């Protein structure tokens, strides 16, 4: 479900949480993620990964329990492990293929369940994620034109907002149905990661 990819972590290393939404461990999305990680400074981070297709997340059923607390399913499908990982991370990477102009079902289930944190904060209860973090979207797909990329950004921002995460950059690679060659420019994302945490407003 989750694994530390880089060991010997220290307090000075960035803690990157990868929410991996592809069923293929060596597919296009995986290669895109590896391109980014390989361009980061060596030994500057450690990685914790959640493979969403393996978690069997229960989709939101609008049970409305989050109006009185957090979701009652969190401890059943290990969503609480994901919550803890977000709390302890510095950077969030959401990596996913494009399915029917959207996200695969396990990714969507994860996103929908995050509504519980918005409801809690909106109702004045404890903020589960008090520290603002940076998040990045990495996606691969066939037809990924500019309009679709903007469309995919909307649910990503809403999901990140529930986690108190700022969408600080995205890379969406298209035409993967025609070529297996994955090329992406991570200049802006790497610069944002290296710039450090978000400064909270007074």
Over residues 65-100, the pLDDT tens digits come to: 888 888 989 999 999 999 999 999 999 999 999 999
**pLDDT-derived band of residue 178, with 50, 70 and 90 as boundaries?**
confident
pLDDT digits (tens, 9 = 90+) for 110-129: 999 999 998 887 766 778 99
Please, what are the domains in the chain?
2-10+24-194 (3.40.50.360)
Which pLDDT belongs to residue 6? 45
pLDDT digits (tens, 9 = 90+) for 13-28: 899 999 999 999 999 9
**Rounded mean pLDDT of 140-166?**
94
Mean pLDDT, the chain, whole residue set:
89
pLDDT digits (tens, 9 = 90+) for 192-201: 999 988 876 6
How many alpha carbons lie under 13 Å from residue 189 in its C-beta half-sphere? 25
**pLDDT-derived band of residue 143, with 50, 70 and 90 as boundaries?**
confident
Q: What percent of the chain has pLDDT over 90?
A: 69
**Cβ count near 162 (within 10 Å):** 21
**pLDDT-derived band of residue 3, with 50, 70 and 90 as boundaries?**
very low
CA-to-CA distance for 92 and 70, rounded, in angstroms? 21
* Top-confidence residue, 18 or 202: 18
CA-to-CA distance for 148 and 131, rounded, in angstroms? 30
Which pLDDT belongs to residue 88? 95
With left for phi above 0 and alpha for psi between -120 and 50, is residue 175 left, alpha or beta? left
Which pLDDT belongs to residue 80? 95
How many alpha carbons lie under 13 Å from residue 183 in its C-beta half-sphere? 2
- Say which residues have a Cβ less than 8 Å from residue 94's Cβ, sequence separation at least 6: 19, 21, 107, 135, 136, 137, 138, 156, 159, 160
pLDDT digits (tens, 9 = 90+) for 32-46: 999 999 999 877 899
């Amino acid at each position: 479900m989750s694994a530390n990819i880089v060991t010997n972590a220290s307090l000075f290393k960035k803690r990157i949480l990868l929410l991996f939404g592809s069923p293929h461990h060596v597919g296009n999305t995986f290669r895109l993620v590896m391109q980014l990680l390989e361009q980061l400074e060596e030994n500057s981070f450690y990685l914790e990964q959640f493979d969403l297709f393996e978690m069997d997340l229960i989709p939101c059923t609008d049970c409305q329990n989050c109006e009185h607390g957090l979701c009652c399913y969190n401890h059943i499908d290990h969503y609480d492990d994901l919550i803890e990982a977000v709390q302890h991370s510095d950077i969030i990477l959401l990596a996913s293929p494009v399915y029917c102009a959207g996200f695969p079902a396990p990714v969507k289930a994860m996103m929908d369940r995050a509504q519980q944190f918005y409801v809690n904060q909106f109702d004045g209860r404890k903020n589960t994620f008090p520290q603002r973090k940076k998040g990045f979207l990495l996606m691969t797909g066939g037809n990924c034109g500019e309009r679709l990329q903007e469309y995919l950004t909307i649910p990503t921002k809403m999901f990140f907002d529930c986690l108190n995460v700022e969408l600080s950059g995205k890379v969406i690679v298209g035409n993967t149905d025609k070529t297996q060659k994955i090329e992406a420019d991570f200049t802006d994302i790497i610069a944002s990661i290296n710039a450090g945490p978000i400064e909270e407003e007074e």
